Structure 1
Amino acid sequence: MTVLEVAAVGGRALVGGHPLGDDDGADAGWGAYAPGTDLPAELVELLVEWGRAADDVARSGAAPRATDAVRVSRTGRHLAARVSVALGHSVDYCDPVTGVRVPLRAVRAVTRVPEVPLPRRRRRGRARVSTVFDEPTPWGTGLTLAALVGGLVLLTNLILALPMVAGLGFVGLLIDLVVVAGLVPALWLNRRVPMWRWAVWGAFAGMGVAVLPLLVVAVRGPAG
């Protein structure tokens, strides 16, 4: 069984090996797979912009788990599924970020394909990849997660540090701050990872709020 490949190389989206966006024979790449079938103009435009965005991410050197790289991969899979539905043919999606080939077989419908704005390549200067494939921000889920993590960090810090600060005063507060500061670099690395970023900022908030009661205890001085 012949399989149609959807990929992106050098800033160009490829369907069946044919780069989209060419004026000469727009269906040359998939005519042998689905004779007489054309891809919707909207889908072709999205694929073209996706190919450019994938190239921007590749040039930026972003890691596969970076936010922009994940968005490029996920959007590419959705667009490949739409190609399979539109042409009624099996598709292999070749991920431009990881190089992994994802087989899409017997796709009949794409239940959720986010209609997201794709960035235009800047003609001058370096393209910003931080705006690739903007998606709705999950404020409800994110803030709930941040609140839970923040409360847990606050409670844990107070339980562990209050007795020490009560006994040692400002010395105990300084020790607590040093311990907390040691956790900041590891948390900071995940500040842009989807979902984890909410936990990171919640942890920072919990640490910050915990300083206030600990400072009050330290000002009162060592017990006894």
Structure 2
Amino acid sequence: MPEELETALTEWATVASTVGTNGGPAEQSLVRRRGRQLAGRLAEVLGRPVEFTDPVTGRTEQVWGRATGPLPRLAPEPATPWATGLTVSAFFAVLIAIADIMLSRAFADAFGLLWIPANVLVAFGLAPSLWLVRRTPFWRWPAFGAAAGLVVAWVCLLAGLLG
């Protein structure tokens, strides 16, 4: 067996065990496609059919070489709901901006300029959570809105200090 094919099979096995049932549909489909391709190359090298076991479903099939039929196509990515998403983002931006401004002003009335470090703590406390959900299909919109709301609140609060 060629060393390049052996290396590719080893790398694919590592990825397949990682993706397995934990990966998303696109990753699972990609692992299946690559596994069938490598099984076809192996069958050609050996000159006989090989068995390919799908790492996601566990289903076994005979692969006779590269000409085993068309490979399944990847499912298209779902369309991004921009209108709904931006509406949700705008709602959360306004909500977070108003809440942050009101809390900071109340804190400033009680403790003076200590609202600045308190607001920094709020921003840095929210940052990890907002960063983690930025790629989750629905929750990215509230995260983007909350981040924008914090920026708007900071601009308004700092402008209030100047004027």
- SS of the residue aligned with 1:195? coil
Aligned pair in 2 of structure 1 residues 71, 217: CA closer, same or farther (>3 Å)? same
**Cα distance change of structure 1 residues 135 and 211 upon mapping to structure 2, 3 Å threshold:** same
Q: Higher strand proportion, which one?
A: 1
* Cα-Cα RMSD: 4.0
Relative to structure 1, is the Cα distance of residues 203 and 72 closer, same or farther in structure 2, using a 3 angstrom cutoff?
same
Distance in structure 1 (CA, Å) of the matches to 2:14 and 2:145:
31
In structure 2, how many angstroms separate the alpha carbons of the residues matched to 1:180 and 1:170?
A: 16
After TM superposition, give the deviation of residue 163 of structure 1 in Å.
2.0
Indicate whether 1:134 and 2:89 are aligned. Answer: no
Bigger Rg, structure 1 or 2 = 2
Whether the aligned pair in 1 keeps the contact of 2:16 and 2:55 (CA below 8 Å) is no
The answer to whether the aligner puts 1:218 opposite 2:161 as a matched pair is yes
Q: Percent identity?
A: 31
Q: By how many angstroms is 1:139 displaced? A: 0.5
Structure 1 unmatched runs, 5+: 1-54, 75-93, 100-116, 119-131
Q: How big is each residue's C-alpha offset from its partner over 1:53-76, in whole Å with a ceiling of 9 and x where there is no partner?
A: xx9974775994xxx7155579xx
- Aligned partner of 1:69 in structure 2 is 24
1:178 paired with 2:133, answer no
Q: Which has more helix, going by share of residues? A: 2
**Paired position in structure 1 for 2:144:** 201
If the length of structure 1 is used for normalisation, what is the TM-score? 0.41
Instruction: Check 1:185–1:70 CA distance in 2 against 1; reply closer, same or farther (3 A cut).
Output: farther
Counterpart CA distance in 2 for 1:63 and 1:150 is 36
Conserved? CA contact 1:169–1:219, under 8 Å = no
Q: In 1, are the aligned partners of 2:97 and 2:149 still within 8 Å (CA)?
A: yes
Amino acid at match of 1:155: I
**CA shift in 2, pair 1:208/1:59, >3 Å:** farther
Task: Give the match for residue 133 of structure 2.
Answer: 190
TM-score, length of structure 2 as denominator length: 0.55
8 Å CA contact 1:166–1:217 kept in 2: the answer is no
Residues 56, 199 of structure 1: alpha-carbon distance in 2 compared, 3 angstrom cutoff? farther
1:153 equivalent in alignment to 2:96: yes
Name 1:143's counterpart in structure 2.
Answer: 86
